[in-house]
Structure 1
Amino acid sequence: MTTRRPSALPPSRSRRRLLAALALSAAAVLGASSCSASGEGAQGGGGSAGKGAATRTVTDIAGKVEVPAEPKRIVSVDFYSPATLVDLGVKPVGVVEGFDSDDPDLRPKRYHDALKDTATIGTYYELNIEAVAQQNPDLIFAETRFLRKGELKRLQGIAPVVQLDAAGVGAWKDRTLMIGAAVGKSAEIEKQAAVFEKRADELKKKYADVLEKNRIAVFAYGQDHSTWGTYPAGHFYVPVWDAVGATFRPFTEGEHKGVEGSVSEWLSLEQIGKLDNADILLYAYGAGDFVDKTLARNTVWKNLPAVKNGMVFRNIPASVVSSFEWGTESLDALDGVLAEISEKAKA
């Protein structure tokens, strides 16, 4: 098969970023966390904490925010924080819709089991603010880029809001550390981070030859199987591939939306030839029929270098990693996929 060694970010960059984030999260709790008996200065005056409750100051993507020293009623209006909270032994009282689904491609089953009966407060892109208020939260987690106009201010009127972000390579790690700091469990989350990093390093070394010499494309289909798109480095669908140092094929003309870490434009099947710059093709866990039935009839697809070389593989399930423990489980699954790829590359 054709091999390339494209330029990539220095492998130490992700580790430096994580170490810096670890230090930041520790400082947020141990250094910058000032406990007081006053709720003055908190973002929101609502919630079950009430006046006179002890608070701590933590840092989120917007700056400093005062949160309860020991939050008791947490509402997650984002997709990610519930899994981290479960891993830390904290059960939120409100989550976005979807946790009642046991689809293995959405999340590991244990998160479904832990949260399937939790009250829902709408979707992460269309909240029910009244449902949030009904849970009487003392702390809210939100990925603010998905909030509609005016919703952040309304949420802050209910309880302190810790604002999160998930865009960019390694951003999910920073977010997870931030969640741990906000609930006063930095030590626990840092231990989970260390386990994840150790496992990622193991796979990076074990499959260095495959990872360094090949460009990958992780792709999925759009509506009615009539379009397709790929996920670049930094997208929330590919964090474990980022963690092991995979090199992604570059977008070709007309694919990039101009937003870092954003999925490509959804393209017609006639443009599937754009994937000819990938050595390894990985289709979404649930896209088997799309590959076996729709693409199998496409002549351009059948003539792609990766297809002709037999380098087409199914991606891991539940790839939208939302916590370090979830990530470690995903790395174990990735070990199996990389073993298949390595074996095929040697054939």
Structure 2
Amino acid sequence: MIARVRAFSALLTAAVLLTACGGGGSSEAEAPEAAGGGAFPVTVEHAYGATEVPAAPQRVVSLGYTDQDAILALGVVPVAIREFTGNRPAATWPWASDRLQGRQPQVLSGESISPEAVAALAPDLIVAVSAGLSRDEYDLFSRIAPTITQPPGADPYQTAWQDGTRLIGTALGRGEEADRLVADLEARFAAVTARYPQFAGRKAAIAAASSTNAGYFVWTSEDNRGRFLTSLGFAVPETFDQLAGDDFYADISNERLGLLDECDVVGWLEIPGNDNASLEAQPGYAALRVGQEGRVVSLTQEQGVALSFSSVLSLPTLLDELPAEFAAALGA
């Protein structure tokens, strides 16, 4: 698990079971109402069990690396946000910054966040969907406040944005709003896919140079970067899924850069702080057909971070830009 946390941080150096239960009164009308229209208490089922949220949360700590986007999209401003990458104000990127409502949440930095630091914030809900907590860590945080992790059976770093959004929406009492956000974004994906039928069945991958300069990463079809491609109709080559094994990315040596030629198009993102980040800087690039033929889309830093967040707020910005760039690279 520690290796996965480090790998997730190095991305840029990165079936829901929900039950809403009425309670606390003899009728639904007697239950307090959340701003989103949900009755409390609610029970959220996640990887480490069932967590009851007794009342509409007022002090939410976003402990997962990317959970803040769904929280903000649902109209709640956390009192603290976990730093993922980029050192942006309030650890929030431009696609979500207008949701802060002028507030400046505390930033929680570091590979591990101490329960004492979180307890000092007096939270009434800890959202740790993408935090990668161990069971022992979950037990510690849940003694501070109701804590939710990834959906049952899901990897914290591969939780589909739909499932994460819905799970967080339930905990906030805004399940209907979460469902609407998911439906609206899925409709946008469907519209883009219909606009670019030439993507269907073509092979594509998202890759980046390793932060250690010892090779490169390619993310699998089960990672959210790969899912972005498959949602557009592309297929991620099976080679990369096989090389990744049980992980969410394949770590490949420089000598095997030519594996990218299995793709019809490659999306290349650059890890901030990596001096050897561009594809052109990789050993063997001169022999790479996808490079020679202009079938590489080099993502901006913001696009790369947006793809690594793969949230209900970051994905719309990519749908406005990347499909057209992929189509141009394919010559279609």
Shorter-chain TM band = 0.7 to 0.9
| Residue identity (%) | 23
Q: Which structure 1 segments of 5+ residues have no match? A: 1-16, 38-53
Partner residue of 1:158 out of 129, 140, 144: 144
d(CA) in 2 for partners of 1:237, 1:216: 11
Letter in structure 2 aligned against 1:259: D
Say if 2:71 and 2:78, in contact at 8 Å, map to a contact too: yes
Say if 1:76 and 1:141, in contact at 8 Å, map to a contact too: yes
Partner residue of 1:294 out of 272, 281, 286: 281
Alignment of 1:1-347 (within 5 A): 25=18, 28-29=19-20, 33-36=21-24, 55-98=41-84, 101-102=87-88, 108-112=93-97, 114=100, 117-123=104-110, 125-143=111-129, 146-148=132-134, 150-164=136-150, 167=155, 171-209=160-198, 211-251=199-239, 256-259=243-246, 262-265=248-251, 267-285=252-270, 290-291=277-278, 293-295=280-282, 298=283, 300-315=284-299, 316-317=303-304, 318-342=306-330, 344=331, 346=332
Q: Which structure 2 segments of 5+ residues have no match? A: 1-14, 26-39
**Aligned Cα RMSD in Å?**
3.2
**What's the secondary structure of 1:69's corresponding residue?**
coil
Say if 1:82 and 1:95, in contact at 8 Å, map to a contact too: yes
Shift of 1:76: 1.6
- For normalisation by structure 1, the TM-score amounts to 0.74
**What's the secondary structure of 1:247's corresponding residue?**
coil
Shift of 1:151: 1.4
Shift of 1:98: 4.5
d(CA) in 1 for partners of 2:190, 2:130: 32
Letter in structure 2 aligned against 1:242: T
Q: Describe the superposition over 1:221-249 as per-residue Cα deviations: whole angstroms up to 9, x where unpaired.
A: 11353421211112133442232232012
Say if 1:99 and 1:111, in contact at 8 Å, map to a contact too: no
Shift of 1:148: 4.7
**What's the secondary structure of 1:143's corresponding residue?**
coil
d(CA) in 2 for partners of 1:279, 1:303: 16
Q: Using a 3 Å threshold, how does the CA distance of structure 1 residues 149 and 170 change in structure 2: closer, same or farther?
A: closer
Q: Describe the superposition over 1:225-275 as per-residue Cα deviations: whole angstroms up to 9, x where unpaired.
A: 34212111121334422322320122269x724215x1112x332221222
**What's the secondary structure of 1:36's corresponding residue?**
coil
Q: Using a 3 Å threshold, how does the CA distance of structure 1 residues 56 and 323 change in structure 2: closer, same or farther?
A: same
Q: Describe the superposition over 1:18-73 as per-residue Cα deviations: whole angstroms up to 9, x where unpaired.
A: xxx5xx65xx33xxx22216xxxxxxxxxxxxxxxx62223223343211231111
d(CA) in 1 for partners of 2:255, 2:22: 59
d(CA) in 2 for partners of 1:239, 1:325: 16
d(CA) in 2 for partners of 1:169, 1:203: 23
d(CA) in 2 for partners of 1:171, 1:110: 19
d(CA) in 1 for partners of 2:240, 2:60: 43
Q: Using a 3 Å threshold, how does the CA distance of structure 1 residues 226 and 136 change in structure 2: closer, same or farther?
A: same
Shift of 1:99: 7.5
Say if 1:222 and 1:228, in contact at 8 Å, map to a contact too: yes
Letter in structure 2 aligned against 1:246: F
**What's the secondary structure of 1:120's corresponding residue?**
strand
**What's the secondary structure of 2:45's corresponding residue?**
strand
Say if 1:99 and 1:116, in contact at 8 Å, map to a contact too: no
d(CA) in 2 for partners of 1:66, 1:215: 44
User: If you compute each CA radius of gyration, which structure gives the higher value, 1 or 2?
Assistant: 1
What is the number of equivalent residue pairs in this alignment? Answer: 294
**What's the secondary structure of 2:307's corresponding residue?**
coil
d(CA) in 1 for partners of 2:114, 2:204: 39
Letter in structure 1 aligned against 2:261: D
- For normalisation by structure 2, the TM-score amounts to 0.77
Q: Using a 3 Å threshold, how does the CA distance of structure 1 residues 270 and 338 change in structure 2: closer, same or farther?
A: closer
**What's the secondary structure of 1:320's corresponding residue?**
helix
d(CA) in 2 for partners of 1:151, 1:172: 23
Q: Using a 3 Å threshold, how does the CA distance of structure 1 residues 116 and 122 change in structure 2: closer, same or farther?
A: farther
Letter in structure 2 aligned against 1:157: R
